[in-house]
Structure 1
């Protein structure tokens, strides 16, 4: 199994079904914080739902339509990044993230997202990586900015979460922009 160092004793690795108990424990530690803007904690509530969630991503990975990775610090799962969708024929992928409160503010999501975006662009030929985020989620918007993404627009009332409608900002980076930002010329 592979693990990619994110520095500072942090690692990125695939989040597979056999890690369901770890994912559930992670959700228990950060359920309310993580669930402010995304539905992951509502989907992972017990061992069976945790395993089913990860199995669904394993099936999507096998079909080449999505990927999910965990972020570990000091051997503990503290967050993750994913491609919610990957359409290789169209060259478009939607990236996302989550993190428990103890790991926030350390740059882990930005570093992890850079790894998966670089893989998608350079290895898989993805042309456009999207980042969809609730307009109220300033931390995730800051990650999009740090990744060199541009704000494409707002989908007003585009996301229903826990009975409340949120505007959704759509951010993106295109492969030529990614490469130019990754390897700036002097």
Structure 2
């Protein structure tokens, strides 16, 4: 199972019927999306997204019951090395989930993960959400390096990460087991100087 990946593939369905419009406060807004802290009540929404066949395949999600996911979110609320966010459209519609985790302030490193809901992929939302998340991580935390991992065959995720400025650093060969076969995992990284050199407005300037 890959620990951090973006899933934005060709196999898209219509927008989820369970998507709801909210007026919840946001942490940071990008050009197309905003990030809001994940709440325990979002467990059912995430559970539905994680059950999507495309996400389950590209990210390698192990099926868990809703109760286990809710318990994990409750546990992570007080976890000082992990922060989870809902990805929202401007009207408040939730369209995905992202996180900064494995935060190590001694080494200045952390990992990222991102998943979009079916029906909201291939619209540029993942790139904007990832850029917003990197702005949040580098702008508010004493981090020097962000890392993301995904299957080497997940072309959509690799393209999203490249568009957000991540560099392909290497491959962890045969690093995960999924659907009866071993998969290679690509390792991508973004360093603070590379983020600072990006010629684009930061999320707080949008």
TM-score by length of 1: 0.83
Runs (4+) of structure 1 exceeding 4 A deviation are: none
Counterpart in the other structure of 2:16? none
Counterpart in the other structure of 2:59? 38
Are residue 57 (structure 1) and residue 76 (structure 2) matched? Answer: yes
RCO greater where, 1 or 2, for CA within 8 Å and sep 6 or more? 2
Counterpart in the other structure of 2:133? 116
Mapped contact 1:26–1:77 kept (Cα < 8 A)? no
Give 1:165 deviation, angstroms. 1.7
Give 1:106 deviation, angstroms. 1.1
Give 1:13 deviation, angstroms. 0.9
State how 1:141-156 maps to structure 2 within 5 Å: 141-156=158-173
- CA shift digits 1:12-40 (9 cap, x unpaired): 21112122233234445xx2121012244
Q: Please state which structure has a larger fraction of its residues in helix.
A: 1
Counterpart in the other structure of 1:160? 177
Q: Please state which structure has a larger fraction of its residues in strand.
A: 1
Aligned-residue CA RMSD (Å): 2.2
Aligned length: 176
Structure 2's unaligned 5+ residue stretches are 1-23, 202-206
Distance 1:97 1:163 in 2: 24
Counterpart in the other structure of 1:67? 83
Structure 1's unaligned 5+ residue stretches are none
